[in-house]
Structure 1
Amino acid sequence: MKSVFLCFLLISSVLSAVAQEPVKVACIGNSITYGSGIDNRELNSYPAQLQRMLGDGYMVSNFGKPGATLLNKGHRPYMQQDEFRQALKFAGDVVVIHLGINDTDPRDWPNYRDYFVTDYLALIDSFKVVNPKARILIARMTPIADRHPRFESGTRDWHGEIQQAIETVARHTGLELIDFHEPLYRYPFMLPDAIHPTAEGAGILARIVYSAMTGDYGGLHLPEIFSDNMVLQRNSSLEIRGTANAGKEVTVSIAGQKKKTQVSLDGNWTVRLESLQAGGPYTLVVRSENQIKSFSNVMVGEVWLCSGQSNMEFMLKQATTARKDIPLGNNEQIRLYDMKARWRTNSVEWDGAVLDSLNHLQYYQDTKWSVCSPSTVSDFSAIAYYFSKMLQDSLQVPVGLICNAIGGSPTEAWISREALEYDFPAILHNWRQNDFIQEWVRNRASLNIKQATCTLQRHPYEPCYLFESGILPLEQFPIKGVIWYQGESNAHNYEAHEKLFHLLIDSWRKNWNMPKLPFYYVQLSSIDRPSWPWFRDSQRSMMADIPYSGMAVSSDYGDSLDVHPRNKKPVGERLARWALHDTYGMVHVVPSGPLFRCADFRQGAAYITFDYAEGMHTSDGQPIKTFEIADTEGIFYPAQAEVIGNRIKVYSEKVKSPRYVRYAWQPFTRANLVNSAGLPASTFRSY
């Protein structure tokens, strides 16, 4: 009995020793894994921070080699380094691989790209040989910022191609793919030399690996836009998405539907609900493990995003119609989600706390959906409110408005980083000294961040900033369309704006995965600023190039001295006309005033054909004003104009053989041509 007992103790001791042996984690990589550029890298590299997160039950070792390539024919192949041999000897139970950045070198990828996938597979196999049970995590590469000296000459494109090759390796092997790219991509200040993360950035990488290893993603979360009183988009499959701990079940229920899904290894989950009919109120319930998120008084109807700069932001209480319409604002069928800035871009210097928050994209106030009432609508966008009121009256369904408008903001601030990096990289370079960006915008931003100590300090007017801080956090919340009022901060350069505006719409349609996302915008009004006639005409001409778009004319309600005309009701209703006509198929609703189609020059006159020309007349009963014609480009003369059927005849005794015609070509115009619906004709210029 004594010998049996001693044997039992020995076996127990051995088993206990085995049980207490830590899980070995091998971090394979280049200088980013090594911790180059990080103060006290032994404590602050991502493997060191990962060790602290995982605790005593793990042994994390850093096998990063600065300059290493994945390619075995590259300039410094990882598999030929001492760090690789040490990693094999370590025989990790978990192996995290982050390689590929240095393969963007022109010595490597252009010559040896065909070997990348097979070389990656060989690296994986080598760790499987020394530990067949090893769990291997493959990382998508960290970003390379546009400030990198070889960014446009090849690094940008090769980085993207290598990223795709890494994803191919993950698909081929079935190994876990973790994302080191997206979590850092929106934080350029964490990449001070364009490549190497700061200690804070390394901490983000450590958290990604920790969550992937443990499945701990902090429990059940939904985007901040989910709250009581919200509106969900009707008549289309509806995706509800969020995060939760890996492998757990998530259940979503609303209006008699109950759908389940399992959380993926990266912590993300999506539930697709069947199409919901307009109505409510409903309760949306989301469950995972012992957590429940419940949202009450939810309506189903039409959801529109209302965005731009100060004229969209302009509150109902500031409008000429405020005294009459605010008391009438009780409407359960209209819901408001108001994304206001924490700090307005007034002529002030922001302190260090504000600047740090801006760098971390914490620019918007916390908010929730609210029911439209006199108290809630007073501080809401006047244009958005009048747009929704006309929609709700016409459609007789609930309408939800997301207002995300920032005073003074330029177009480029609302565009995705990826779009600008590939299609307009010049606007990213040294943006506060960049002539593509309006001088007022640059000067105001420089004043606001004057106290900054960070050389890569961010500002709401910076290219990409509002997309990253205000559009991406909407997490593709289902919407029907967009209304937009912006351009004042880009009117100095209409040629650049034309490119930017296309990129903005394309990047939003890509973000929502809606190639046909309706986008209706306001043409700038009248004011005494000399570049505005050209800008307004550019806005008009872009309608032909941008499908599923429409433009509301506002020049008849302009103010010669104030960039913020106060009568917003007609503008909101003109946007609603486009939506009712084009998006909702109400063909009896006239969407626009007369829009120039073409000009026929003959017999000493210009005969102009318009779209939406029925019943053309003048708004004031006076002769038609502000037409001009010319026989030589740039030498225009005032002209007489008269309605002939659905066309306008324009002529002048000073121009015998006209070849050019223009209308309302003044910064502040008193043009008076309208159609039967009383809608004004747009500025135009023939070419």
Structure 2
Amino acid sequence: MKRLYLLISIICLTGSYCLARQPDSVAFSVSKVLGDNMVVQRDKPFTVWGQAPTGHKIEVTVSWSRKSFAATSNSQGVWEVKIPAASANTKAQIIVVKDIVNTAVIRLNNILIGDVWICSGQSNMEMPIDSISPFPGFPGVTDYKAEIAAANYPALRLFKIPYGRSDAPEDNLKHNALWNKCTPDNAGKFSALAYFFARKVHIEINVPIGLVVSALGATSGEEWTARKVIDSDDALKSFYKHDKVSKLYNGMIYPLKKLAVKGFLWDQGEGNRNDPPGMYTRLNSAMIKDWRAIFNQGQLPFYFVQMTPYAAKFFFTNPWGDDPKASDYARFREDQMLVRTHTPNTGMAVNMDIDEIVHIHWQNKKPTGERLALLALNQTYGHKNIQAVGPQYAGHKVNGDKVIIEYVAGTSNGLNAGGKPLAQHFYVAGADSVFRQAAATIRDNIVELAIPEGTPMPVLAVRYAFTNFPVTNLQNSAGLPAEPFRTDKWISN
């Protein structure tokens, strides 16, 4: 018995020693997020971080500063160094990281200083420019060959986060990846939405743009949201119970938290379109708040894509039949819009004019990416002369047999239908609460509706494009589509 006790004691002591000594066996490294060709966020302190055996002194030098910066790896083998903020720079820079104890050196070459945007969501954010992708049958974006041939923008850099779910928040990525320059040789693999966004911003402000794409198809918003956020809200906790909750956040967002960034882009929603009314607004708003908290860089801008018109009958089954007034998707778009209302420093790119209702993965990504860029240019970069949103409903009034639709000042200048007959997507409900299609006519910067024959007065509600797949053409002079709206809160209609 004494021998057995002694053996167990030795094993326990050895195990404790190994656990205590574990950080000493950690190899000297920098975070997998950092690498050659990356973009360092301008005008903010920049963190260089990684691992090394406990107690090792780490020295970091950067080519844009005469100073050196040092840190010592902690008991967990983690070190980090803060580099003071620097201005944008298109000249290639170098970061040198040294482990003073074992004289190991890591060099990061061809670094640019500019703006870094994290681009996340599901398949429509992930989808590349070319036709060779993980999405069977996707033919590439519109005119993809010409787009790739012209994609010579070496100041644009892309870093695609490798797929990685995790049960707990990770401090580092599970797999290695590379930062890539945007050239015709590799642009085809860039996220199309992120590329079109970055290209427009770069051309406008002439600053390097880094794109960190952390996206995965067929995923839902709760997978990108921290478990603590879900658990702290009774409504979210009771609804989102499946075993994938938070795992993408843990493996593909949390490891980025030390990275200085300009903001976030988000295209996700298909995975949550059957959530109860209001649930997605609650979830996405909470997710945004938490992302901002872990990055600890203030109210970082968050720009997202509203779902395009989509007829589900062409993809699997059509649960709505052929009713042109069915509004399941419209209600989800409304929940997306309400994220903007409830959460400061956000913006929504509207895509109701994308005429690809049979494609949940629509090809014409260029307008969407550029609309995200317009939001950033106007709201984040301060280019207030750039129109960033389409006509937004402000109110309506009844004038005899007409309903006059008014828009938020400045959003409906040059109201037009793109040189075509105005697509008729306005509906009016009278005292019987039945919606009837109303003939619409553009009058300067307002829309005039003829109250449909047989509508019992008074007019109780008006809707615009509040159906599943209306392809619209009502737009302002900047070509930005009018936002869908409804004035009622009825559940059954």
Q: Does 1:597 align with 2:410?
A: no
**Structure 2 CA distance for aligned equivalents of residues 538 and 569 of structure 1:** 24
Q: Does 1:398 align with 2:208?
A: yes
Select 1:500's aligned residue among 280, 283, 291: 283
Match of 2:37 in 1: 229
Q: Does 1:389 align with 2:199?
A: yes
Contact 1:509 1:515 in 2 (8 A): yes
**Structure 1 CA distance for aligned equivalents of residues 60 and 204 of structure 2:** 32
- Alpha-carbon spacing, 1:510–1:53, altered in 2? closer, same or farther (3 Å): same
Secondary structure (helix, strand or coil) at the match of 2:211 reads: strand
**Structure 1 CA distance for aligned equivalents of residues 75 and 284 of structure 2:** 37
**Structure 2 CA distance for aligned equivalents of residues 685 and 601 of structure 1:** 16
**Structure 1 CA distance for aligned equivalents of residues 355 and 373 of structure 2:** 19
**Structure 1 CA distance for aligned equivalents of residues 216 and 21 of structure 2:** 37
- Alpha-carbon spacing, 1:428–1:645, altered in 2? closer, same or farther (3 Å): closer
Match of 2:301 in 1: 518
Q: Does 1:51 align with 2:2?
A: no
Contact 2:117 2:265 in 1 (8 A): yes
Contact 2:128 2:191 in 1 (8 A): yes
Which amino acid is the alignment partner of residue 441 of structure 2?
E
- Alpha-carbon spacing, 1:49–1:331, altered in 2? closer, same or farther (3 Å): farther
- Alpha-carbon spacing, 1:365–1:650, altered in 2? closer, same or farther (3 Å): farther
Match of 1:306 in 2: 119
Contact 1:308 1:485 in 2 (8 A): yes
Match of 2:421 in 1: 622
TM-score by length of 2: 0.84
Contact 2:57 2:72 in 1 (8 A): yes
CA RMSD in angstroms comes to 2.7
Q: Deviations over 1:33-82 (max 9, x none)?
A: xxxxxxxxx9999x956623627xxxxxxxxxxxxxxxxxxxxxxxxxxx
Secondary structure (helix, strand or coil) at the match of 2:24 reads: coil
Aligned 1:566-577 pairs, distance under 5 A:
566-577=363-374
Match of 1:418 in 2: 228
Which amino acid is the alignment partner of residue 224 of structure 1?
K
Task: Report the more deviating stretch, 619-628 or 374-383.
Answer: 619-628
Q: How many Å apart are 1:575 and its aligned residue? A: 0.5
Secondary structure (helix, strand or coil) at the match of 1:471 reads: helix
Select 1:294's aligned residue among 101, 104, 107: 107
Which amino acid is the alignment partner of residue 651 of structure 1?
A
Secondary structure (helix, strand or coil) at the match of 1:618 reads: coil
Relative to total residues, which structure has the larger helix share, 1 or 2? 1
Which amino acid is the alignment partner of residue 474 of structure 1?
L
Q: How many Å apart are 1:675 and its aligned residue? A: 0.1
**Structure 2 CA distance for aligned equivalents of residues 639 and 587 of structure 1:** 35
Secondary structure (helix, strand or coil) at the match of 1:320 reads: coil
Q: Deviations over 1:506-531 (max 9, x none)?
A: 12111211331111000000111452
Secondary structure (helix, strand or coil) at the match of 1:336 reads: strand
**Structure 2 CA distance for aligned equivalents of residues 49 and 561 of structure 1:** 63
Q: Does 1:375 align with 2:185?
A: yes
**Structure 2 CA distance for aligned equivalents of residues 364 and 673 of structure 1:** 46
Q: Does 1:631 align with 2:455?
A: no
Contact 1:312 1:485 in 2 (8 A): yes
Q: How many Å apart are 1:410 and its aligned residue? A: 0.4
Match of 1:324 in 2: 146
Contact 1:540 1:684 in 2 (8 A): no
Aligned 1:98-113 pairs, distance under 5 A:
none
Which amino acid is the alignment partner of residue 236 of structure 1?
K
Q: How many Å apart are 1:264 and its aligned residue? A: 3.9
Q: How many Å apart are 1:555 and its aligned residue? A: 2.1
Aligned 1:329-368 pairs, distance under 5 A:
329-341=151-163, 366-368=176-178
Aligned 1:98-497 pairs, distance under 5 A:
207=19, 209-211=20-22, 216=24, 218-254=26-62, 255-256=64-65, 257-279=67-89, 280-289=91-100, 290-317=103-130, 318-341=140-163, 366-423=176-233, 424-429=236-241, 431=242, 462-493=244-275, 494-497=277-280
**Structure 2 CA distance for aligned equivalents of residues 513 and 467 of structure 1:** 16
Q: How many Å apart are 1:222 and its aligned residue? A: 2.2
Contact 1:628 1:638 in 2 (8 A): yes
Q: Does 1:583 align with 2:380?
A: yes
Q: How many Å apart are 1:598 and its aligned residue? A: 2.9
Which amino acid is the alignment partner of residue 274 of structure 1?
P
Which amino acid is the alignment partner of residue 243 of structure 1?
Q
Q: How many Å apart are 1:483 and its aligned residue? A: 0.8
Which amino acid is the alignment partner of residue 490 of structure 1?
N
Which amino acid is the alignment partner of residue 508 of structure 1?
W
Which amino acid is the alignment partner of residue 127 of structure 2?
F
Q: How many Å apart are 1:363 and its aligned residue? A: 9.3
TM-score by length of 1: 0.61
Q: Deviations over 1:167-196 (max 9, x none)?
A: xxxxxxxxxxxxxxxxxxxxxxxxxxxxxx
Q: Does 1:557 align with 2:363?
A: no
Q: How many Å apart are 1:558 and its aligned residue? A: 4.2
Identity across the alignment (%):
29
**Structure 2 CA distance for aligned equivalents of residues 543 and 359 of structure 1:** 30
> Structure 2: 5+ residue runs without aligned partners?
1-5, 131-139, 313-319, 321-327, 489-493
Q: Deviations over 1:91-114 (max 9, x none)?
A: xxxxxxxxxxxxxxxxxxxxxxxx
Contact 1:605 1:658 in 2 (8 A): no
Secondary structure (helix, strand or coil) at the match of 1:556 reads: coil
Match of 2:461 in 1: 660
Match of 1:641 in 2: 440
Q: How many Å apart are 1:404 and its aligned residue? A: 1.2
Q: How many Å apart are 1:339 and its aligned residue? A: 2.2
Task: Report the more deviating stretch, 225-234 or 559-568.
Answer: 559-568
Which amino acid is the alignment partner of residue 282 of structure 1?
Q
Contact 1:604 1:657 in 2 (8 A): no
Q: How many Å apart are 1:634 and its aligned residue? A: 4.5
Match of 1:679 in 2: 480
Q: How many Å apart are 1:553 and its aligned residue? A: 0.9
**Structure 1 CA distance for aligned equivalents of residues 13 and 443 of structure 2:** 78
**Structure 2 CA distance for aligned equivalents of residues 425 and 376 of structure 1:** 42
Which amino acid is the alignment partner of residue 478 of structure 2?
A
Q: How many Å apart are 1:561 and its aligned residue? A: 2.0
